[in-house]
Amino acid sequence: MKRSQMTHVFLSLLLFAALPVFALDGGIESLRQTGKTFAAVAREVSPSVVYLQVEGKTSDAAIAGFNSPFGDGSPFGDDLFKRFFGDRFPGMPGVPRPETPRGERRAIGQGSGFVFAAKDGLLTDKIYILTNNHVVENAEKIRVKLQDGRQFDAKVTGRDPQSDVAVVEIEASDISALKWGDSTGLEVGEWVAAIGNPFGLSHTLTVGVVSAKGRTSVGINDYEDFIQTDAAINPGNSGGPLVNLDGEVVGVNTAIFSRSGGYMGVGFAIPSSLAKAIASQLIEQGNVTRGYLGIVIQQLTPELAESFDIDAGQGILVAQVSESSPAEKAGLRQGDVIVAYRGEPVREIGNFRNRVSLTRPGSTEEVAVLRAGKRKTLKVTIGRLTDDKPIDQGPAQSADEIGLTVQTLTPQLADQFDARPGEGVVVTHVRSGSIAAMAGIEPGTVISQVNRKAMKSAADFRRAIEAGSDRKRVLLLIRKDGMQRYLALSW
């Protein structure tokens, strides 16, 4: 072999031998840059994330049987959806309770929040902090702690239990507000980071991806459109921000799916598009005004789609139209398939209900429906949702543990069963051989209370049954044929 050829072969072998080293160096550099990105996010976001310590009262009756100061609604009594309070407060196993008068106990919880708005003041600014309603709903005293060590007493600006959003305020200055991101533009697989105070560990950052979007019918809130993420979320993270790589808030960490009480890779966050709209109303008016159509809707399953001779996933089905409602006045009918609202496609119940609820009452909007195979566009004047009107309902909720399916009492159902709208749920199906069937519960039975808590919607019922799953026992107040009675079910 000629010398020049030998030289060429040698250089080639040397080059190929070096390729893995170059590839390794390139991979390490890529990881190094990714780590710097997360570090930059933490530096930018953490000063605006706060630790919330909440003190309130609860009764002896609420504590009985749960070892928790939150009673039947306790985040620790719910085996599926764990709310994000810490566990270092009276009522938890191994934690001593302070002496308090009988009939009343102190409850201390913790959560997270973040600064999202400020109002200029003469001497100091008013700083607004967004968190979850379930963090502060029973609060008598709220203490806010910042990363720089400053502490402030806070007061509630407004709460919205139906979306689980709340705003609290403090008098402070020199605290920057986080920027809102566009949750509607998120894609499954995008990097996100959760920042909060799990188990009281201040300003903890965890990283993951968007696992799914548009999670509804989860049974946590009345209005749901959750972002699902695998970023590690634990008790104490509740109310903290879920941010993108630009440090923008795309969600509010709210709940986890867990059978142990800790992280199992499935967390839920309220999307920023919903949280921002709710928070703005809470600042401006202290409560939330929601739009109202007055319909019962259900998902269009493949079987239903075939029956209506349309493609599955093309819209949602109108199962019932309330009398004298905005929907009836606009000409919506039972059996219509809603395919578009305000010019945008409709494919899923939860998203549609959220969009209607955030529409300004009194505005006139277009609703496109399929009726007998033909598309029609109707103009509807959005009403105002009030306490005596149930929210535009989705499908019935089932409780497999006891074998029941229930539906929120609409005005028509309330008239039929001699009840009031929003005051209980009606049983629509009882599984043969189930605990409910053996107890004598029949379709048409109205359940007004579960564990002495009033039921206003099917979602309330589902949450209450799940909260009792640890004890495998619930106390129902039922009404049938004009007679009320209590009924205890065990399984």
What's the pLDDT tens digit per position in 407-449?
A: 888 766 777 777 777 788 888 888 888 888 888 898 889 998 9
CA distance linking residue 159 with residue 128, whole number of Å: 13
Q: What is the pLDDT of residue 312?
A: 74
Instruction: Report pLDDT for 5.
Output: 53
148 among known catalytic residues? no
**More confident of the two residues 257 and 16:** 257
**CATH assignment of 291-384, given 1.10.15.40, 2.30.42.10, 1.10.260.40, 3.40.50.2000?**
2.30.42.10
Structure tokens at 109: 């919880």
- Do 393 and 408 form a contact (C-beta atoms < 8 A)? yes
> How large a percentage of the chain has pLDDT more than 70?
79
Max avg pLDDT among 35-49, 55-69, 120-134, 346-360: 35-49
C-beta of residue 474 within 8 angstroms of C-beta of residue 488: yes
| Residue in 231, 175, 245, 165 with CA at minimum distance from that of residue 198 | 231
Answer yes or no: is pLDDT of 75 > 70: no
Q: Residue 405 contacts by C-beta under 8 Å, 6 or more apart in sequence?
A: 396, 397, 398, 399, 427, 428, 429, 430
Q: Rounded to whole angstroms, how far apart are CA atoms 180 and 316?
A: 30
How much of the chain is helix, strand and coil, in % rounded to 5?
Answer: 25, 35, 40
Closest CA to 410 of 298, 487, 306, 330: 298
Quote the pLDDT of residue 23.
Answer: 54
8 Å CB contact between 292 and 393: no
Confidence band (pLDDT; 50, 70, 90) for 84? very low
User: Which tokens go with 465?
Assistant: 């049954």
The better pLDDT of the pair 264, 371 is held by 371
Q: Which of 48, 112, 238, 273 is catalytic?
A: 238
Mean pLDDT of all residues in 226-231: 92
Residue ranges, CATH 2.30.42.10, the chain? 291-384, 397-490
**Chain segment 98-111, per-residue pLDDT in tens:** 444 445 567 788 89
pLDDT band at 218 (very low <50, low <70, confident <90, very high): low
User: Looking at residues 461-475, what average pLDDT do you find?
Assistant: 81
Tell me: pLDDT of 14 over 80: no
Per-residue pLDDT, 389: 57
Residues 365-401: b if buried by 16+ CB within 10 A, e if exposed: bebbbbbeeeeeebebebbebeeebbbbbbbbbbbeb
| Placement of tokens 């019935």 in the chain | 396
Mean pLDDT calculated for residue range 152-181 = 93
Has 357 been annotated as catalytic?
A: no
pLDDT in the model for residue 65 = 30
Residue 490 has pLDDT above 50, yes or no: yes
**What pLDDT sits at residue 18?**
52
pLDDT at position 117 over 60: yes
Selected catalytic residue, list 46, 87, 134, 211: 134
The yes-or-no verdict on residue 391 having pLDDT over 80 is no
Most confidently modeled range among 214-228, 337-351, 391-405, 473-487: 337-351
Q: CATH for 16-288, among 3.10.330.20, 2.40.10.120, 2.40.50.140, 1.10.3720.10?
A: 2.40.10.120
In this model, does residue 190 exceed pLDDT 90? yes
Give CA separation, 370 vs 238, 295, 306, 341, 488, in Å: 41, 16, 14, 12, 45
- Going by pLDDT thresholds of 50, 70 and 90, the confidence category of residue 279 is very high
Query: Could you give the residue range(s) of every CATH 2.40.10.120 domain in the chain?
Result: 16-288
pLDDT at 130 over 70: yes
Which of the following is catalytic: 78, 87, 160, 164?
164
Instruction: Give the integer Cα–Cα distance in Å for 78 and 218.
Output: 14
pLDDT for the residue 34: 84
Q: Is residue 113 predicted with pLDDT exceeding 90? A: yes
- Annotated catalytic residue 203: no
What's the rounded Cα separation, in Å, for the pair 76 and 89? 12
- pLDDT tens sequence across 332-374: 998 899 999 999 999 888 788 888 998 999 999 999 999 988 9
Is the domain defined by 397-490 classed in CATH 2.30.42.10? yes
Longest dimension (CA), the chain: 107
pTM for the structure as a whole: 0.67
pLDDT range class, residue 483, cuts 50, 70, 90:
confident
Single-letter amino acid code for the residue at 179: K
pLDDT at 412: 65
Amino acid at the residue 169: E
Rounded to whole angstroms, the Cα distance separating 54 from 107 reads 8
